[in-house]
Structure 1
Amino acid sequence: MAAITVENEARPGSRAVAKYVRSSAYKAREVLDLVRGKPYNEARDILTFSERSVSDTIAKCLDSAAANAEHNNELNGDELFVAACYADEGPTLKRWRPRARGRATRIRKRTCHITMILARYTEEEIEARDNRMALKSSGRRASASEARRRRVEASRQRDAEASQEDTETTQGSEEITEKSEETSDAEVTQGSEEETTHAEQPESNDLEPEPNDPKERES
């Protein structure tokens, strides 16, 4: 495990150094580029969700620098940012791997020294950041209330349209029912009148009376 030490150099800020980290400086620099210039809390979140294995060691070094700033300089962690971070080459361990025809290939196990420097924002920067956060939170509240108002208006409009459609449908069904009732009444009245007319007319005998004369019967 890498040892965490504290050094005092000319560059201002609270620092922490992780020496002899079992990772190449190239891989460590790729992670350090993600947190350089970021606020302490944001840099901590970036390292937490990073998939690189060296991120854990860098996160420990970052926490050590923040602890040094809070304990030694009495600074607030929310007001700190990553002022500088870099990785220097460390000693390389030489190992050997056997290859074909009795040969051997060198294995280089590289190490590095990681340095994290945290500094405090100026008063103007802290005030500007607080104003941005307040404006963002107020904007979120305003946007949330505006979105809620639009949803309520849309819901009321949908309810009004639905009630209007129900009213129109009810009126149309009532009109159709009235028309059907009138039509059925007219048909019933017409049928009763026709029956009355047929009843008043005398019944006609379709069969002719048989003649009494036998000659007429033969003819």
Structure 2
Amino acid sequence: MLLRKKKTEVCALGRHISVSADKARRVIDQIRGRSYEETLMILELMPYKACYPIFKLVYSAAANANSNMDSAEANLVIIKAEVNEGTTVKKFKPRARGRSYAIKKATCHITIVVKDISLDEYEDISFYSLKNPRWKKTTMVNRNVYNSESEVVWDKK
């Protein structure tokens, strides 16, 4: 009987959030590695604009964990939180003497990954996954004159 570790991580992704990446990172750095309930408390009390979309993403990640793995909110820990720069929204504002002034608004993509620390179990690997492995076995002929054995190499599909 083969065993495989159960999936214990769930993520939530927020794209094109209208906050600059640097402003979101100073909030994300405060919540990385903390429990779910402690994170919600921190986000409610911090006075930054980026806290509300991050709060919604953490709440969404917990809802995903509850829906997908039936995990309780008390067992969730934020193991990964990252902010990447998104597209820049460009607008033009009319100015004096017929000129235009470019307004650039930065956006960001935020990824929150939560892990259920109570789920550290193993599950059986189904017959289907044994029948169709992710790795296939190929043989390569060794061109060495002194050794006539063939060499087995594992290639990814």
Q: State the TM-score, normalizing by the size of structure 1.
A: 0.48
SS at match of 1:91: strand
Answer yes or no: is the 8 Å Cα contact 2:19–2:107 preserved in 1: yes
- Report how far residue 120 of structure 1 moved: 2.1
Name the aligned partner's letter for residue 118 of structure 1: V
| Corresponding residue number in structure 2 for 1:65 | 61
67 and 49 in structure 1: CA distance in 2 versus 1, 3 angstrom threshold: same
| Corresponding residue number in structure 2 for 1:29 | 25
- Report how far residue 111 of structure 1 moved: 0.9
Name the aligned partner's letter for residue 109 of structure 1: K
- Report how far residue 56 of structure 1 moved: 0.8
Matched, 1:117 2:113: yes
Percent of residue pairs identical:
36
Consecutive unaligned residues of structure 2, counting only runs of 5 or more, are: 1-6, 121-157
- Report how far residue 105 of structure 1 moved: 3.0
SS at match of 2:38: helix
Bigger radius of gyration among the two: 1
For residues 150-187 of structure 1, give each alpha carbon's deviation from its aligned partner in whole angstroms, at most 9, with x where no partner exists: xxxxxxxxxxxxxxxxxxxxxxxxxxxxxxxxxxxxxx
SS at match of 2:25: helix
Q: Distance in 1 between matches of 2:119 and 2:90?
A: 50
SS at match of 1:38: coil
Higher helix share: 1
Q: How does 1:25-104 map to 2 (within 5 A)?
A: 25-99=21-95, 102-104=98-100
SS at match of 2:71: coil
Q: Distance in 1 between matches of 2:94 and 2:9?
A: 48
Say which structure, 1 or 2, has more relative contact order (CA 8 Å, 6+ apart): 2
Q: Distance in 2 between matches of 1:75 and 1:57?
A: 23
Higher strand share: 2
| Corresponding residue number in structure 2 for 1:105 | 101
SS at match of 1:69: helix
Answer yes or no: is the 8 Å Cα contact 2:8–2:119 preserved in 1: no
96 and 12 in structure 1: CA distance in 2 versus 1, 3 angstrom threshold: farther
Answer yes or no: is the 8 Å Cα contact 2:8–2:116 preserved in 1: no
